[in-house]
Structure formats: C-alpha cells, structure tokens
Structure 1
Amino acid sequence: MGVITPISASEKQSTILLKNVHVFDGMNEKRMMNANVLIENNIIKEITQKNINAPEATQIDGKGRTLIPGLIDMHWHSAYSSIPMQKGLTLDHAYHLLIGAKANEKALLRGFTTVRDVGGNVFSLAKLTDEGVYNGPRIFPSGPAISQTSGHTDFRPGTAVPAETNAPLVYMESIGHVMVADGVPEVLKRTREALRMGATQIKINSGGGVSSSFDPLDVTQFTLEETKAAVAAASDWNTYVATHTFTDAATQRALEAGVISIEHGHLLSEKTLRLMKKKGAYLSIQPILDDEDAIAFPEGSFSRQKYVEVTKGTDRVYRLAKKVGVKTVFGTDTLFDPLLAEKQGKQLAKLSKWHSPVEALRQATSTAGELLALSGQRSPYPQGALGVIKVGAYADLILVDGNPLKNLNLVSNPKDNFDLIMKDGKIYKNTLN
C-alpha cells in the first residue's frame, strides 16, 4: 500500500488518465468494464473502453477498481457538525469556521467532494476552499437558516420575549448563522439578505425540530404567505427554497407555497409523499435511527423525546417514499459531534436497509447533483455536472477497492476502501502503488 498524500488544491494537474477501471456513472445499474477516463484540468474529457493515447498525461492504473462519482452530502452543517453545542453557542464565529475547516477536510478524505450546507454563515469557508486555502468539499451554502419567532432556529434565550421592536440581534443572528423573521416584509428582507451574502439556495424552517428548545414537533411554522414570500424572493434569483419539516401539515403548506426540497420528513404520510411526487419536490431525508449512532441528547430531555419520536418514523417513510417514487437524496445532518461526523460513510451504507446499493448511491451522486443544479446561476460551479461520470462533468471521482454496487458497506470504511479521491481534477488521496 502507498501512503495518503493530500495534494494542495493550488497545484495544477493539467491531464490525468485513469486506466483499467470499472465505471459506475452515478446512474446506470451496470458498470462500464475495463474503461479508461481522460481528465483535462478539472473536467472529464473522454470515457472509453478503447485505449487513449495521452503520453503527456499522468497515468494511474486502477487495476480493476470501481470508479464512482464523488459523494454528495445534501444536509451538512460545516459550522456545527464537529463542535459541541455549548461551544457552538458560546464561542465566536472564527472558532466555528476553523473547526469547520478541519471537519470538512476530513469529509473530503471520506469521499464527500460536495456538501450542501443548509444553515450557517460559511460563505468565507466556501470561498477559501474554492481558492485552495483549505482542502474540503465544494460547498453550496444556504447562509442563515430563517425561522419565525419560536421556530426551529430561534436561538434566543427563554428570557428574550416579549422582544422589544428594536432589540439587538443575538450573536448567532448577528454572525449570520440563523435569523428570525416574522411577517412577509421581514421574510422578504432576510431572504434577500441571504441571497446578497451568496446563498446558492434558501433554507427556512416550516415545522418543529429536535435540537431546538421552544418548538414541539407538531407545530407548523411560517404562514402560507410568509413561505410564498421566501419562495418568490428565491425564484427572483433563479434558485429554490429548502425547508426543515417533519409533519404532514407543515410539509403540505410548504409544498403549496412552492418549496422544492423537503428536509427530513420522517413523520410524513403516504398522502403527503404522493403530493411531493406530483409537485416534483425532493425528499432530503437522513437514515437516523435510535441506535449506536444516535445524537447524544441528554436522557429525558425535550430534545431526546423528540429525537426518539422522529427516529420511530424513519423506517416507514423510507419504505413509503420508495413505494411512491419520490426523488430522494442522501444527507447526514450531523450535529455537535466529531465522532458521529466520522461515520458519514456508515450512514450512507445504512440505506441498504431500504434500497439496493445502486439506488442508495444514486441518492448521494446523480440525484443529489440534479437537485444541486436547481441553484442555476447561483451555483459557484457552472462549468460541469456534479454527481455523475460523463464527458463534460467535473472530475470529482473515487476509486473503490471492490464493487460498491454489490457491497454498499465498502463506503462505510473509506480509509481502507477508497484508494484514490479526486475533486475538481486534483488528487487529495492516492494509496495506489
């Protein structure tokens, strides 16, 4: 075995030829066997089972390994995944982003070459990653998660209400991690501010949450008019709205307003899932269970009670969504725990409980890329497709020692099973001889 060799994103590698690889393109159930893939700069230029004459290229012999697209986590929090909650609430923004930079570098070395960040001011981290200052996945940032008073990301203390009209923002609001907005004018303003900051999509909260202190799961948040205001502002910028919601009532209202990405949805009925399919909405759900990988909320706490209720719905909703045919994407929503963040690949492998390996991998590759593309001109990455291996796509690639289309558990151990990880045509891990 070779050694892991992270290569600076600033180093230019003009041409790379991957030889003798079996290609899973992110879509098809069968691999293209014994293929060769030519990469120029950061784009895939040729995929063929014929020989490619490229004497100038850096040549890498895959020796029959499986080439898959870089993985995509569609519900990631760069600033929160690996920082304990109490530190997150009490330490400053720079601390959040420095911890986030290290966490994202580890995510990249787990094969996650793209993340959709659905809550938090990580615009500087996204920019510095693109500039090569930090190694990490591509980031599609939502910026501040927008909530109503008493909503899922109302992080004000219990003594903060009744709020004075001109009361100053709390720290988590002032740094742009979250924002509280009430009424159509405020929702419009805060949505437009997030877009001004560089949001690739908007994140709102339409229902109760697990980690929040003041909202039971059953509550519906934002009126129809408020939700429509966020959707209209995002649409004016040619992008879309994703919303946090678990219940039928909250989800149906969001769908009526034009929300296209439903985050979580663990308590949904078949009726609502059929409405999602009719509307063309995506289900961004996480395979969270009350198992050895559960988020460690204090026993008996309000959040712990809500977490157990949500996880009881996980199995049923995955099965119903598959039955109905809702487009589903993979995410982890890891919060406040660096050890849990390390299990990103294990979470993906858990999808085998409900899906074939190919179906599961599509959720973390091509279908995820399809949803990311709805950011349109707000996407920082307009040159190529993501989540697929095809001519013209970005060269975000993983060489797997084995066939994950037969054994999805291979993705749960990227340290041993991912021999090469490439993002944007640059190699960040290579353990091939």
Structure 2
Amino acid sequence: MGLGDIALNTKKEESYVLINNAKIFDGINEKLIVGNLLIKGGKIAKISTSKIDAPKGAKVIDAGGKFLMPGLSDAHWHVMFAAAPISAANLPDPGLFYADAVAEARRTVLRGFTTVRDMAGSVFGLKVAIDSKAIPGPRIFPSGAFISQTSGHGDFSPAYEKSPTLGGDRGHLEKLGEFTVANGVPEVLAAVRDNLKKGASQIKIGVSGGAISDFDPLDSTQFNDDEIRAAVGAAADWGTYVCSHVYHPRGIKRALKNGVKSIEHGQLADEEAVKLIAKNDAWLSIQAFSSKTLPKGTVIPEKSKPLFEQWEHVVKWAIRDKAKFAYGTDILFSPQFTPYQNKMLTVFADVLSPLEFMRLATSNNAKLFELSGPRNPYKEAKLGVLREGAWADMILVDGDPFKDPNVLSEYEDKFIIIIKDGDIYKNMLA
C-alpha cells in the first residue's frame, strides 16, 4: 500500500487535481455521475461528464471507473480520548495523552473520515494544527470541555474529593480542560461561555448516567430544567446549539423540553421519546453498540451491557417517525476499538436502504453539523457532498458500497485515494 504525500505547514496556492473516469456519488443522489472532477485549491471546481482540460501543473489521476464518494464523517468522535487508555490520561505528564491524540488524528483521516464532530475535550490546539496542515487529521467541530454536574458522567474526581462547588479541588482531566463540573445556573453559564470563548462550535452537557463514569448509574437524570435552559440560552446567544449525552426516556424528554437539539446516544429510548425527537425537530446521534462491531472475544463491562444490541429498534422507530438521526461511534479510552470505526458505520446498512446508508455519514451528518450556524468553522463551503463549490473531501473506493456496504470497512485495501481539502492523504495508484 502506498501513502501519498501528506501536506504540511503551507497551503498550496491554486493547486489542481483532476480525477478522470470515475463513478461519482454526490452524497445525495442514487444515480452516479460517470465522469470527471477537478479540484482547485481546497474546493471542487468542476464536475462534468465531458472531458475537463487539465490546468497547467495539475496532478491527473485516472480513476479507472472506480467509485468516488464524499469523505466520511463521524458525528460523535473523541479526538483526545479515542486512542488513549485511561492510564495515559491520568499520568502526571499529559505528553503521552496528547501524543496518542496526534497519532490517532492521522489514522482517522486514513480510515476515510475527513470530518468529525468532537464530543468532549480540549481539542482546540490540535484543530488549529490540523487546519493549518502542521499535522494530518480530520476537520474538527469542537465542543470543548464536556459539562457535567457533580456526580455526573463527566465527574472523574475521586469520591473522597469534594465538588469544586463545595470548595474541593478539580480533577486532573478537568484541569487539562477535558471536562468541567458545574452546578447551578451561574456555573453552567460560565462553563458554556468558557467553551465558546475557546472556539466551540457546539456545546455538550450530560443529562444521564454514563458507562465509563464511576458514580452515576445509567438510569440517573442529570442537570435540572433551569441548568439545561441556561446552557441552551448561552449557546443560542452565540448562534449555536446544545448536545446532550443521554440514554433513557426521562433524560431525553427533559433535554428536549429545555431546548437541546442533539440527543447523543439514546439507546434506551422508548417510542414516545423518539416521537418527541421528531416533534421537536431535534436530532438523534446514535451509535451501533453491538457485538458485531467489536473484536471477537471482547468482554462487555457489566455497566455497559444494557446499552448493547438496542440501537437497531431505536433507529427503526426514528425511520418510522421521520426523526432525524446521525451516525457516530463514541469510542473513548479504548485504542483497541478505533480500527472498528468504519465497521460501526457499515452495520447501519442492515436497517437502512442503500441510499439512506450512503447518505448517512456523508450529506446527512453534514446537515447536523450545520446547526452550529455562524460557529461552523467550515461554513465557507459545503461538507458531505461532491458538487461544484463544495469542499474537496473525497474517497476513491475499489468497489461499490451501494452493492456491498462492507467495502467501507475495508479501508486499508479498498480506499485507493483519500483527499481532504484538496490534498492527497493516501494514493495507492502512485
């Protein structure tokens, strides 16, 4: 396998890439365009079924009739946490923690994920480094520190330590900017505004218990109405929205009642909760927690077991009720699972039509990302589609995912070319 040059440091001026003889899926329509695509700088300049003359100095690629599609996106990724074992996150020196994140950013884009919505963590510096092409990685929609109540899903301080609200010290991960514990409206407002100050494109709060946190049972409901409304109002003042970590119906209903627009997870939702997601014009950002998507022999922790094998019927309810839903993975502190990011996408083909499946991690996810409005860091052009004027993020695939969705999980062998922002990150034809 050959890796193409990874662009570093300096944006290429007026560089061109011409891809000839491709079967182009534009991210929306089932009918493929058999033709050619010209990239100028970081955007798509032209798509045509007729010959496109190669500009002077253009890199010309013969796709050989292969399948060209938009780059993939993950609506619930953890840039800082995915590849870091919890032991690395708790070392006195966070150097290894950050090194893991940098290495995983490169691996993420080489799996074909050219955009991610980051759902917790201090990723702002890493995002700048990626966007400036100092290091390879996906586009990032950052949430900043995950905001949790004391004893909530984002409270990783030891039980003997008092809450910061009661005069206790903040935990190690809080001090690194990965989480913020906030209690009451003033603290929630401050936490949201602090994330927005740093460049968050959306805000994430915890409204139910979590699988990896120590002190909150899954069935617990977190943040009261006033606290959630405060977060939503502060985000709205900046033209953006709030996502909530939440699994169960009570938490989903509380979040929606108070203006949350993206329900993260929802595996324990009931039919009424899914109907409310649709009624409130909100999104369900769900993950395929299933033994099908994990390495053989994986032991599922006891606390996580209720969340597994639940996603399919929730997605079927969402389809029935016309609720908007997005694909994400939520891999954190589990480096052994990151290679399965693509597999967590392809299992959606079991419940979606081929076209719905192909839109899911392309144009569909991109619609969710657009909720960040003026805080969208990539609003200059469209994501998730191959059309003139859109960002030049794409994958040349050896195979037809409409006919065999599993080719999208065989990224090492089947992703022949990966392009992000007009730069070639992988080229097996070189």
Q: Normalising TM by the smaller chain, what interval? A: over 0.9
Unaligned runs of 5+ in 2: none
Residue 395 of structure 1 corresponds to 392
| Equivalent in the alignment of 1:42 | 42
- Could you say what secondary structure the match of 2:337 adopts? helix
Residues 351 and 360, structure 1, Cα contact 8 Å, conserved in 2 = yes
Does 1:195 pair with 2:226?
Answer: no
Q: Structure 2 vs 1, CA of residues 6 and 25 (structure 1 numbering), >3 Å: closer, same or farther?
A: same
CA contact (8 A) 1:204 1:242 kept: yes
Instruction: Name which of 417, 426, 429 aligns with 2:426.
Output: 429
Task: Name the % identity.
Answer: 42
Q: TM-score, normalised by structure 2?
A: 0.95
- C-alpha separation between the residues in 2 aligned to 1:310 and 1:164? 31
Q: Once structures 1 and 2 are overlaid, which stretch shifts more, 140-149 or 51-60?
A: 51-60
Residue among 364, 367, 373 paired with 1:367: 364
* 3-state SS of paired residue (1:16): strand
Matched, 1:94 2:101: no
1:112 is aligned to 2:109: no
Q: Deviations over 1:199-218 (max 9, x none)?
A: 11101001111111111111
Count of residue correspondences: 427
Distance 1:297 1:145 in 2: 27
Q: Does the CA-based 8 Å contact 1:288-1:294 persist in structure 2? A: no
Tell me how far apart the structure 2 counterparts of residues 98 and 230 of structure 1 sit (CA, whole Å).
Answer: 32
Rounded to whole Å, the distance in 2 between the matches of 1:159 and 1:16 is 58
Structure 1 position 298, deviation (Å): 7.0
Conserved 8 A contact 2:165-2:182:
no
Aligned 8 A contact 1:188 1:230 in 2: yes
The residue that corresponds to 1:409 in the other structure is 406
1:290–1:308 CA contact under 8 A, matched in 2: no
In structure 1, distance between residues paired with 2:352 and 2:250? 27
> Per-residue deviation at 1:96?
1.9
Query: 1:295 offset after TM fit, Å?
Result: 11
Distance 1:240 1:162, change over 3 A: closer
Instruction: Kindly report which structure 2 residues correspond to 1:19-168, keeping only aligned pairs within 5 A, or say none.
Output: 19-32=20-33, 34-56=34-56, 57-161=58-162, 165-168=166-169
1:353 to 350, 353, 375: 350
1:3 — aligned with what?
2
For the residue of structure 2 that corresponds to 1:158, the secondary structure is: coil
With over 3 angstroms needed to count, the CA separation of the structure-2 counterparts of 1:296 and 1:82, relative to structure 1, is: farther
- Comparing 156-165 and 174-183, the one that deviates more: 156-165
The DSSP-based 3-state class of the residue aligned with 1:59 is strand
Contact 1:111/1:418 (8 A) holds in 2: yes
| Alpha-carbon distance, 1:71 to partner | 0.4
The answer to whether the Cα contact below 8 Å between 1:80 and 1:335 also exists between their aligned partners in 2 is yes
Decide whether aligned partners of structure 1 residues 246 and 87 sit closer, same or farther in structure 2, where only a CA change above 3 A counts. same
Contact kept? 1:73, 1:332, Cα under 8 Å: yes
Partner of 1:391, secondary structure, is: coil
Q: How far did 1:14 drift?
A: 1.1
1:397·1:422 contact (CA, 8 Å) conserved in 2? Answer: yes
Cα deviation, 1:283-312, whole Å, max 9, x if unaligned, reads 11011114561799977xxxx222110114
Ranges of 4+ aligned residues in structure 1 off by more than 4 Å: 294-299
Q: Is the Cα–Cα contact under 8 Å of residues 262 and 282 in structure 2 kept in the other structure?
A: yes
Per-residue deviation, 1:220: 0.9
Shift of 1:11: 5.8
Q: Deviations over 1:53-93 (max 9, x none)?
A: 23422211111111110100111111111111222233544
Q: What CA distance in whole angstroms lies between the structure 2 residues aligned with 1:312 and 1:409?
A: 19
What RMSD, in angstroms, separates the aligned Cα atoms of the two structures?
Answer: 1.8
1:287 — aligned with what? Answer: 288
Answer whether contact 1:386 1:394 (CA < 8 A) is retained: yes
Return the offset for 1:163.
5.8
- Report the AA paired with residue 202 of structure 1: I
Q: CA deviation at 1:279?
A: 1.2
Amino acid at match of 1:359: E
Q: Which residue of 1 aligns with 2:240?
A: 239
Q: CA deviation at 1:408?
A: 0.5
Partner SS state of residue 320, structure 1: helix
Gaps spanning 5+ residues in structure 1: where?
A: none
Judge conservation of contact 1:295–1:335 (CA < 8 Å) in 2.
no
Matches within 5 A, 1:163-312: 165-291=166-292, 293=294, 304-312=301-309
C-alpha distance in 2, partners of 1:292/1:381? 31
1:215/1:295 CA distance change after superposition, 3 Å: farther
In 2 relative to 1, CA 87–96 (structure 1 residues): closer, same or farther, beyond 3 Å? closer
CA distance in structure 1 between the partners assigned to 2:119 and 2:164 by the alignment: 27
Name the stretch that deviates more: 156-165 or 343-352: 156-165
Contact 2:211 2:303 in 1 (8 A): yes
In the superposition, the TM-score normalised over structure 1's length comes to 0.95
- Aligned-pair distance for 1:337? 2.1
**Contact 1:70–1:398 (Cα < 8 Å) also in 2:** yes
Greater shift in the superposed pair: 155-164 or 366-375: 155-164
Q: Which string of whole-angstrom CA distances, capped at 9 and with x for unpartnered residues, describes residues 12-57 of structure 1?
A: 261111111111111112212x211111101111111111123422
Q: Distance in 2 between matches of 1:416 and 1:184?
A: 51
> Per-residue deviation at 1:335?
1.6
- Tell me if structure 1 keeps the 8 A contact 2:161–2:168: no
Q: CA 1:164–1:330 in structure 2 vs 1: closer, same or farther (change >3 Å)? A: closer
Moved more, 161-170 or 253-262: 161-170
Question: Partners of 1:295 and 1:332 in 2: how far apart?
Answer: 18
